[in-house]
Amino acid sequence: MDFTHFDQNGNAVMVDVSDKQITEREAIAIGRIKVSKDCFNAVKEGTAKKGDVLLVARIAGIMGAKKTSELIPLCHILNLTKVSIDFHMFEDSFEIEAVCTVKVSGKTGVEMEAMTGVSVALLTIYDMCKAIDKTMEIGSIYLAEKTGGKSGYFNNRKEK
């Protein structure tokens, strides 16, 4: 398999999707942030000094997904039809999981938008909670699932 973002001379290029078919496409990315017990409880109970951490992180993640083409150099500008961010709290490990789902009717996929959305959501949690916990760790960010396009369905869900 060749890299698609380079021409025959090795120059970086934006992939030409002119001849691709418009299809319904969806991508789901997942990531986690590990926090201290005090931080976890502040987020869960809504007592963080900066306000409702998950509300702000959700909005930030949606905004991040919408701005992906401005952040990742060769990404196409897409007219997204859906962006959602959901959170799951894991009290046994003091982790917060973010799940970003992105949809589009288009000629190219939304994997990067989903990955960007989940990353920005987790970074926002970090930013809002750094006064409580400077030891937070963001990790395990991955593409969990995608549908549409030439390659069709892809499932990479991991059980934690």
* Measured distance CA(9)–CA(12) in Å, rounded: 9
Q: Which two tokens stand for residue 148?
A: 């549409």
Note if 7 is an active site residue. no
* Measured distance CA(58)–CA(11) in Å, rounded: 37
Hey, is 75 helix, strand or coil? coil
CA-to-CA separations, 36 to 17, 95, 120, 130, 137, in angstroms, rounded: 45, 9, 20, 11, 10
Instruction: Write down the catalytic residue from 38, 86, 92, 127.
Output: 127
Cα dihedral 102→13→5→16 (10° resolution): 60
Q: Are 116 and 138 in contact (CB under 8 A)?
A: no
Q: Are 59 and 73 in contact (CB under 8 A)?
A: no
Helix (H) or strand (E) holding 3: none
Q: Are 133 and 39 in contact (CB under 8 A)?
A: yes
Which positions are catalytic? 127
